[in-house]
A and B are shown apart, each in its own frame.
Chain A
């Protein structure tokens, strides 16, 4: 049982910093408070790629544009700023830095009926894996069936992709959370706003296998409502992808964008009804990656209108990928 005298309260958040509102404290901006453990880590790089034409006129994903966006992002992510300008490299070569030809690769997607991972993106990942030398029969795509999927059971590498959205239990549906289907009892992770979701990443099926994380920000859901937690009016055409090897850094960046959108939409700081604390906890308690925005190097490529987030000064990344649970070959 929790010692209530040490319960985290609204007043703790108010006490946390000058002018720190609950909205930001309970959500993303709490990520700014570096923990002792995380402060010893290096930095993480995240690439945000956006394209005005990422969506068709009817709002559906543009299959002609998305593969190029993914290529640009992965190339930028894997480039060494000291030697090559981002976005101008060879995408196949970039993928080869992530994946070996003898890998068995599971693409962990998300098929939530209202906002699923776009099929053209799944196809683009598969194409690039094949280009990197992985045989077609060594690539699998799955979501809710990963535990039963023979390919995922023998996977040596994972590519993690999902759209970001608000979520009833965890505040936001994140890359960290996307692996919950690997667990035989997903509800076991619901306690305390799903705070300990990063613990999933220590499961043998997952640990050390994730090579790339892609947070789909084409039409993110920034607010939830109703029994299905979905209403089209709470999505907006952001037309972006966030890509990184550090899932925590990518999630933290996506969360900043959702927070900014909520401020814009509601005209004030609007707390997530369920605080998305699992992202901060992933850094502070599990050391899965970096959530502190000050230590995330965000590179932005493409369309800048309505960006909602400011990239930080770009410095050479090279060998300084910060995620501890990723394996870059």
Chain B
């Protein structure tokens, strides 16, 4: 869908708000012109096009409505879940949030963000109406990233799941290291979830590489720096008394961080490896 076509999702007028200026239409290369540094996040999720429209109404805060064509449902999911989602379900798209006046959702290959400069009863009505119209303009739903299904469901905290490609995003969700120890990039996928376990919460991540050789190399470089003291099962007690572990499963590297016990870390790794081996082709292709 072209940038011009994206604009057709946006209402020409909503409860007295009208476009205040010509729409901004952007590609991955020009998105910096619109959202500055945050563009790198959406570029990492392979954004294709985006449209931004600023609505104004006298005596009311401006409203910014943005539609991002992420190219695939998986990346729309990733873009939406890049941010912590702690607000109420707005009832739009495949997952949505309304929080203090702002509404976001994803549906099919689109990520949508509607932000008022301030919150008023009138702006809430306009924001919700805009969102509903965009939702209706997207005819179908899309599948979440297949890797999400590899994360164990048992104990996973609601809304804790993230999907990403590069280490900048990973660090935003769970800081591991300044450098890209896991060799993450455009050709890799990752998922991260937070889990509840006896003794405390922990993180579980799965990273997928193009080949099994790639995952082996990534595990080695990661372990050399982050887990040099790991035992034969790849677990190590970190400086805060928690446990970390990492292991390979075919094209995947599985990592556990902040586990409250060694047993928790070992079991989480083993269970996830089983899940991957049951679901994925683990040949070195």
Contact = CB atoms under 8 A, between A and B. Distances in A.
Interface of A: 2, 4-5, 7-11, 14-15, 22, 26, 59, 113-114, 167-169, 187, 190, 192-193, 225-233, 271, 273-275
Interface of B (DSSP majority class)? mixed
A14 B240 CA distance: 6
A168 B38 contact: yes
B118 A4 contact: no
A231 B172 contact: no
A233 B177 contact: no
Nearest to A16: B239
Interface string B84-108: 1000000000000001111010000
B100 A231 contact: yes
A180 to B, nearest CB: 11
A4 B171 CA distance: 16
Interface in B11-64: 32, 35-38, 40-42, 64
Nearest to B169: A273
Interface of B: 32, 35-38, 40-42, 64, 66, 68, 83-84, 99-102, 104, 113, 115-119, 171-173, 175-179, 181, 221, 224-226, 238-240, 257
A231 B176 CA distance: 27
Contact of A4 (B36, B66, B181, B240): B181
Nearest to B54: A113
Contact of B35 (A9, A26, A190, A228): A228
Given A4-B221, A11-B238, A167-B37, A226 B171 contact: no
A226 B225 contact: no
Given A4-B225, A14-B238, A228 B38 contact: yes
Contact of B38 (A2, A229, A275): A229
A225 B226 contact: no
Contact of B102 (A5, A10, A167, A231): A231
B113 A7 contact: no
B239 to A, nearest CB: 4
Contacts of A11: 226, 238-239
A190 B37 contact: yes
A206 B168 CA distance: 31
Given A168-B37, A225-B83, A114 B117 contact: yes
Tell which of B68, B175, B225 has the most Cβ of chain A within 10 Å: B175
A228 B115 contact: yes
A273 B83 CA distance: 10
A3 to B, nearest CB: 9
